[in-house]
Structure 1
């Protein structure tokens, strides 16, 4: 589920709805802006656009303000200049930490805590990857090294990273227009073409990290009176089926990948160029796995509908940059399926531990949305078939599931 920022901007949401409209019209030219607004509201966990607007009004001015001493320490440690205003939170904490905005006499910056990055890293390899991607032409908020040259600094009990602030529109939302998915495919091919070595395949995308069965987890949720327990029980067959995706298949050689190139981590900048954020999870993946994860993220809407034009454009953009596609099959969605299952298990654990009205309300909305919008093996097959429909242009190595 998409999460509203701490101080949401209705203008940004209207822009997101218009961007989403273009993707929806790839599949159905009759879709209206009102339809796109309703779809976007659902992605944020609300029934109607009016409900989403009401939440925006309720949350105005609710960003947290950091201790000024902390802001000064971050600015000093990373050489950002003199602080000129309050350091304000941008969004509620996520699975890694929390994002903030900081202004100094040298510009605007985006510090964030990275206390729970998995797998744990000092950020050095990650920063080198971002710097190599920028040199190759990927547009991104530049990572800032500290005065000591480190990517991560421990300050006041938290691990901090900083990026330059880059002006852009709001994050994108799936399904996205074919024009944009073509550019996404090209960006993936460019990153894979760097061929930066990886220390194995990211365990988040390859190793089941949950320790109990889905049925048992559903029983635990029901025993605790969780409002989403019934949704989890109903989703057990789909979750169990997703566990089988790619099991037993050979794992191709990994390279260093972005590992989270989803619509929520891409914004449009000047001239509609893609600005890629969210590099903290960069890790080793087979290129085929990341390409199939992108197909599931960019060309499948939350209700399971496939944007065939967007899927074809994504692989066309990849092929145009790389010259060929890696061999693709349903097994190539293993990283997408395993990562999703690890995320569901983690969110369920966080929801069961939530306390306080606001956190419990957010957890309930998150889990209900997540469990009722799961893809299936059939979803993966459909988006792959849509991507590879043009047999004349698909390379010989691109096998169908």
Structure 2
């Protein structure tokens, strides 16, 4: 398994390490529950250096990005990034990524760790086949990426970098020209919390991590592991590569048509998506509340209708500290299912009863802890 550049720093402060997308990452430091409420009510610091980090640049960079992504990018450098899908010709999702146009003919792309190799090979192949004059550079293992999430994250970032970030919009970004480091701050988080991501194009012996950790600890926050990161994204019903996202799933099945800009002249997968839009998607992502049974539904568990007919499968499940109940995400087939309808989930050792609920489960978090 690959190790994070600062793995030793995490071990020094008691991280429990585990595997994720071929990387050894911190799962938690003290407990997932404590880190969850600290992140929700104060702020948490995550090392997300495992994410794929790519630079696409060259003479045809704009035309290339228009062709491979579902979003449109203006000719000028944009002050805000965009979440976009990269699709195969059938409209299946290769990855759902965050894209920043940081210079003329130059883009920064963050991909899921599980899609990193596939993204690099796929973009290189498309560029070669269609004769785009571009270069794709993988900066994943030579750089650091940190996330600070929570209502007090802005205070910490302003204190560390002495930057006024009050006017920075969601997905806005800013280079720190006065810094001795090559740093870029982005206002984004893999949840519905306020948050910032900090990309450092180097390792720097972990000095930035130490500075952030010290400031967050003084603020009353704490380092957070992947257990909390996954729970926060799950409660916000954000899709994860390898679970809700793979090449058999389309953006329409995820109910994310708003990330497709149909007015573009063309992009990979457009004709397939357009046909799917006319006839309707084959499956749909739904939320499920467990109403009988104490097992957490896991990826791949079969789902049956109340008439005991097979109708789908689970993609994610977790216990929500906010709702104090077990929830799940899953795909159901093309039939029309409504909130409140009961389902049966087949799990090892028995069945779980659930019912369909609206997603996202939650769109904004209360700022006071409701559980001691």
TM-score bucket of the superposed structures, by smaller chain = under 0.3
What's the TM-score, normalizing by structure 2? 0.27
Report the structure, 1 or 2, having the larger helix content. 1
What's the TM-score, normalizing by structure 1? 0.26
Report the structure, 1 or 2, having the larger strand content. 2
